[in-house]
Structure 1
């Protein structure tokens, strides 16, 4: 594997620190900023949901679509986005998708119609489906596997986690002015990163093998259609009913299309996705851990945002500051994430992180209509920050360890897809659990009734985190590829 820098050992056999050039740092900054913008976008909009609902007169089911439309676009095309970057050129795909993201952010901040607002969220999700795995694979193909890549991926993934966590605070600040600023604030940063990316992202060539063999067109079509149908069915099920004809037909059609995709991939000479990649190293387990991590956390944030503002009556900024400790913990660990992985190993950190998340959710079950912040809310926030800081970068490292360069985009797309599909599934179930009697805020502002309606969703978040913990902690039946080399 070609690397921009190499680890060197002294005569005493001690591994010297990884040293990068200014161009390498700028490349990493460009990629990290885009991932942080993705994280900011999800959490900022989550904070703004009550304000959007009040101004546009939207209930819980409709508010869910502002979150789920992004997940729909993101989750349905992530696998295709990562693979297309491998085939068509990472730099080209990354810059085009980021430009679309900037344009959709601008439009979303200007529209008044709820349908158009949701449409812009879907377009942003589509764009992020290309930038996220492409940025990931640009790193894994330019930094050697082992300590160098661990450091780069730790910084990269921690930027994403930091953006997601600090987005709560930024979202609170923006929403205090207007919810529209939660859309518009990303625009200047995205434009600036496009300009920097033109200079610092290395030019690359599509896979030589694929240039000569052509593309798996039908595989790409069936994959995109199947994932789009699956994620759409998941996020629309709470509104239409899980047992409705439309939902059952949606799942059946998606399953049939994905089965056709699997048949195509097993027959073509150069498949879009090599299914045996799931048997390599920790790939399958890392993806299941990602489902639990993001599925539980995004659903928890959705509920807590409504709980703090609708039940307790906090304003957006107060709510954001209450959740700030989690973001600060993630940011504070950023410089040390790669060292933790080198010292303790990514698998151990994944287990520890998921255990911390599960404990945080369980402790939050104690909240009432008049909670004490220091004793009832803060312990959970701290545990969630620790858990996310440990698990998120470690899952990303383990998901690509031992995967060859030509499939790094595929591996990156797999892990990102697991995160987003997990978020879509758990959020859809959560919304179904808490929306049984319409928008809670409409229930005569009965705080106790609102809280009772939210509790099943809180329990679900905890159960999903525990399930992911059990998967991550289960003994391995095959030799695992180390998270670092050298």
Structure 2
């Protein structure tokens, strides 16, 4: 049966669209979720972190499973898991139930996303057609992040927070039904080639979860408590075991030899820090807009739109700027803009106008986050061997997701500690939230500022248009 490659692209890109959409659509629903399910302030961030940690932690394993079991099969399995957990999340009656559903939903995303990308690379021949297809793929994914906050606001205000999850179910059902019609079967690897590093995925993800849990528990239990020290120590031990397993595995999830490339190493760190700053700012500002300024969920979503527009404009301008000035200079400019944007957001209080107190910071931050991300992604893959480009792309994507989850845990913990301290000092509830918001943004700004140092340590690469297109196709 002959299938149109563009129809295949439409199916796969739309699936990726909802995976990215789910990262941002939930943010504006957080205050309603907290009230309805009685989340504590320190545990609310798990609604975001559970998804991003499992997504990032199992992303590389998902790509390996696609190679071993067949890309279309793994794509459908991931899609079905994502849809089923979306339904369960919408039906959640307790914090634990919602967090568990979000974690497995992230696992579903980690299976379907690399499988979809794998199918695209064999559907379109190398060159112009593949570059166009990857541009559509990346564009729809970026659009999903921008539209998520508005879609979430509409659903929360018009229906209920549960619909930010329920909306996935009919979409997933349709994509699952039409996939065999429009997406061709991609053969699995030969039986002799089926090395499978499940131990690496389990150790890496469990270690990260232990570290994040230890950080989150630091506020209510104290940094010196046996519980916090125990979880942090266990996380470090598990992550050390992960590195040891990867060094000896026949088919490691993370080929450690890749990190001999200075460009890949610095890009991975830069993207991890970028993810930490972005998720932290998004989480804190979503709560600030609704709990301090009294925005509805929809109004909060609309207030984020200019940042999304700035990010899209920055993505369009990045390629010519990189060709002219090189990756390091563009990335340095992006890091500086991100820091400036966060400091501007720190001037917002409970009463200032949106146009003067928030909009300038959001525009600068949206530009800066892409100004770091695009050159870092290009640097990560343009400096490695062609046959390792896919693995390099998977590594930096995983760093971005995992860095976001770890950064969010640290920033929200320190933000909450400032809020609680302000309450103890006699400040009003609203002012205490503002103080916590400012503390969290300050920590996020410090994280973003570290990216300036990382960028200065990165090599200056000036790829031509063809190399940038190839890098974008796998980044």
Alpha-carbon distance in 1 for matches of 2:433, 2:199: 43
The residue number in structure 2 matching 1:187 is 169
Alpha-carbon distance in 1 for matches of 2:324, 2:172: 35
* Aligned CA distance change for structure 1 residues 439 and 473 (closer, same or farther; 3 Å): same
The residue number in structure 2 matching 1:294 is 275
Say whether 1:472 aligns with 2:455. Answer: yes
CA deviation vs aligned residue, 1:344-401 (integer Å, no higher than 9, x gap) = 6665544443333222112112112211211221111222332344444554444344
* Aligned CA distance change for structure 1 residues 434 and 483 (closer, same or farther; 3 Å): same
Does structure 2 retain, via aligned residues, the 8 Å contact 1:309–1:319?
Answer: yes
Alpha-carbon distance in 1 for matches of 2:331, 2:125: 22
Does structure 2 retain, via aligned residues, the 8 Å contact 1:136–1:412?
Answer: no
* Aligned CA distance change for structure 1 residues 329 and 54 (closer, same or farther; 3 Å): same
Give structure 2 stretches of 5+ with no counterpart.
none
Say whether 1:164 aligns with 2:142. Answer: no
| Bigger share in helix | 2
The residue number in structure 2 matching 1:230 is 208
CA deviation vs aligned residue, 1:432-466 (integer Å, no higher than 9, x gap) = 11222559999885322221122111011112122
* Aligned CA distance change for structure 1 residues 254 and 80 (closer, same or farther; 3 Å): farther
CA drift of 1:278 comes to: 2.4
Alpha-carbon distance in 1 for matches of 2:237, 2:461: 32
Between stretches 36-45 and 418-427, larger displacement belongs to: 36-45
Does structure 2 retain, via aligned residues, the 8 Å contact 1:162–1:330?
Answer: no
CA deviation vs aligned residue, 1:297-324 (integer Å, no higher than 9, x gap) = 1100111111111111121111111111
Between stretches 27-36 and 285-294, larger displacement belongs to: 27-36
Does structure 2 retain, via aligned residues, the 8 Å contact 1:44–1:171?
Answer: yes
Does structure 1 retain, via aligned residues, the 8 Å contact 2:27–2:283?
Answer: yes
Does structure 2 retain, via aligned residues, the 8 Å contact 1:76–1:231?
Answer: no
Alpha-carbon distance in 1 for matches of 2:396, 2:316: 23
Alpha-carbon distance in 1 for matches of 2:136, 2:374: 8
- Please, what is the CA RMSD of the aligned residues? 3.4
Does structure 2 retain, via aligned residues, the 8 Å contact 1:65–1:235?
Answer: no
TM-score (norm 1): 0.83
* Aligned CA distance change for structure 1 residues 384 and 201 (closer, same or farther; 3 Å): farther
Say whether 1:80 aligns with 2:61. Answer: yes
Match for 1:110 among 91, 112, 126?
A: 91
The residue number in structure 2 matching 1:18 is none
Q: How does 1:336-355 map to 2 (within 5 A)?
A: 349-355=330-336
Alpha-carbon distance in 2 for matches of 1:206, 1:52: 41
CA deviation vs aligned residue, 1:245-282 (integer Å, no higher than 9, x gap) = 33333333333334334334434444443211223473
CA drift of 1:151 comes to: 4.5
Match for 1:447 among 430, 433, 447?
A: 430
Secondary structure in 2 matching 1:248: helix
Does structure 2 retain, via aligned residues, the 8 Å contact 1:140–1:408?
Answer: no
Alpha-carbon distance in 2 for matches of 1:440, 1:152: 51
Match for 1:363 among 333, 336, 344?
A: 344
* Aligned CA distance change for structure 1 residues 86 and 387 (closer, same or farther; 3 Å): farther
CA deviation vs aligned residue, 1:109-149 (integer Å, no higher than 9, x gap) = 12323321221111101111222333344445555667665
More RCO (CA 8 Å, sep 6+): 1
Does structure 2 retain, via aligned residues, the 8 Å contact 1:360–1:383?
Answer: yes
Alpha-carbon distance in 2 for matches of 1:400, 1:255: 28
The residue number in structure 1 matching 2:187 is 205
Between stretches 193-202 and 102-111, larger displacement belongs to: 193-202
Between stretches 36-45 and 395-404, larger displacement belongs to: 395-404
The count of aligned residue pairs is 462
The residue number in structure 2 matching 1:431 is 412
TM-score (norm 2): 0.85
CA drift of 1:424 comes to: 1.2
